[in-house]
Amino acid sequence: MSQFIGRGEETVESILQQLFHLNARTFSQYPIRGIVTELDEFGSLSDEVKKHKFDFYVRRDNKQSLIIEVNYKHGDKADKKWNNIFVPLIRRKDMIPVTIDDFSCESLFKDMYHPITLGDWRDVLQALIHAEVEL
């Protein structure tokens, strides 16, 4: 599975920066410690979860921030961790969790490297719409 880690992230980052460039800052590989500020809450997390880095954190001006995971064949264990641990935590922090999943993208994960296409934009925008992100 390691050949899939990071796949699509460069394209997503470029699209996010273009989409939000005037009203937000985009951070990649953002550590969970950045959103879990209370020492007790961080201490209660497992060591594996404490090491997690979100693919993207988009801090938006005057709107909810976004935590975005780009998933290409991550598997059941990662899905359960995302849905059972990360999504509730992100929502408690008044942020919006967004997943860009391989099974719902038609273009983004098609090839390892390709120029950014309208299909890639559509895949990212559909994920944001699905997460009910106000653009």
- Number of residues that make up the chain: 135
The rounded distance, in Å, linking the Cα atoms of 5 and 30 is 15
Which H/E stretch holds residue 70?
strand 66-71
pLDDT tens figures, 10-37:
899 999 999 998 889 999 999 999 988 7
Residue ranges of the domains in the chain?
Answer: 2-130
Return the pLDDT at 64.
95
- Contact in structure between 100 and 8 (CB atoms under 8 Å): yes
Whether CATH 2.60.120 fits 2-130: no
How confident is the prediction for the chain on average, in pLDDT? 87
Q: What is the pTM of this model?
A: 0.88
Max distance between CA atoms of the chain, in angstroms, equals 45
Return the pLDDT at 107.
87
Indicate if the pLDDT at residue 2 is higher than 50. Answer: no
Mean pLDDT (whole number) for 62-89: 85
Mean pLDDT (whole number) for 48-59: 93
120: exposed, middle or buried (C-beta count within 10 Å: 0-12, 13-18, 19+)? buried
Indicate if the pLDDT at residue 82 is higher than 70. Answer: yes
Half-sphere exposure (CA, 13 Å, Cβ side) for 71? 23
